[in-house]
Structure 1
């Protein structure tokens, strides 16, 4: 799968359905047939994976030592509330109320594509996060990317 790109402002209808933006939908071939998976994110946002990417993630998770308590706890918290999403004929998905409540989402969301997944944010929380740029973003890039980061600037 190609990496996902873009940031989208979306509205939810009264039932909690969200129209997938057409530009994003073009990046998700076969989504009507295979569906999506949504779950809680690490920063009080939601995360959406294509079914294929979710299967890859589950494959990685299944390699964890299940006899180790920290691994079991991580799996429980990571998969808590995970559910499949179906795309209806109008290109909408119904976002589960329990997950919307977790993320503090009411009627608007920001979809932020993050390589192989889509983060779903309550707009005020997303703006607050994105407006808190680290003082030295270049140092963060060097720490995270190491020599790979140097290749990006060449």
Structure 2
């Protein structure tokens, strides 16, 4: 399955129209949709976007929660109730709602960031701050990658010995 990859910064015109990267349009087109679903993130000043596969993933997660729980209702209100389908025009553009742009601090440019099953839309300066912090913290996440690899392959990863790189052999 194709995924959203790469980072692209595009201009936003006075009407809020922005060209969605061709690579991202191809992913949602392969999912049978001529647009993107988008909503303001509750995790920060950016927008979440994706196609039918991403919205199906959200629905599946929500459907695992008790149907009348406050947590499900709160998450559904944000992830589904605030979502809009933005259809591509003939030039591959969408019109970003003004309240979405305000939430993300988007003015004359927007940065699209691929995240495999979804993508995010940031103000360029907001993304640079996030990216710098993510780069700083990424080395601390190697254990998560090892665990995920092991789960995918069914293999066990061998951790290097601690203590300066010397093995415990005879001396």
Q: Could you state the TM-score of these two structures normalised by the residue count of structure 1?
A: 0.83
CA drift at 1:54: 1.1
1:39 counterpart residue number = 39
Change (3 A) 1:15 1:32: farther
Indicate the structure whose relative CO is greater, using CA pairs within 8 Å and at least 6 residues apart.
Answer: 1
| In 1: Cα distance, 2:23 partner to 2:54 partner | 19
Distance 1:136 1:7, change over 3 A: closer
- Following superposition, the deviation at residue 62 of structure 1 comes to 2.5
Matches of 1:75 and 1:32 in 2, distance apart?
24
Give the Å deviation of 1:23. 3.5
8 Å Cα contact 2:101/2:107 also seen in 1: yes
Bigger-Rg structure (1/2):
2
Does residue 7 (structure 1) correspond to residue 24 (structure 2)? The answer is: no
- Which residue number in structure 1 is paired with residue 131 of structure 2? 130
Contact 2:38 2:49 in 1 (8 A): yes
When structure 1 is superposed on structure 2, of 105-114 and 74-83 the one drifting more is 74-83
CA deviations on 1:98-123 (whole Å, 9 max, x unpaired) are: 11111111111110000111100011
Contact map agreement 1:32 1:87 (CA 8 A) in 2: no
Count of equivalent residues: 152
CA displacement at 1:132 relative to structure 2: 1.8
Q: Aligned-pair RMSD on alpha carbons?
A: 2.6
Give secondary structure in 1 for the equivalent of 2:24: helix
Structure 1 gaps, min length 5: none
Q: Write out aligned runs for 1:103-114 (5 A).
A: 103-114=104-115
Q: How far apart in 2 are the matches of 1:67 and 1:5?
A: 36
Cα offset, 1:18, TM superposition: 0.6
Tell me how far apart the structure 1 counterparts of residues 32 and 95 of structure 2 sit (CA, whole Å): 13
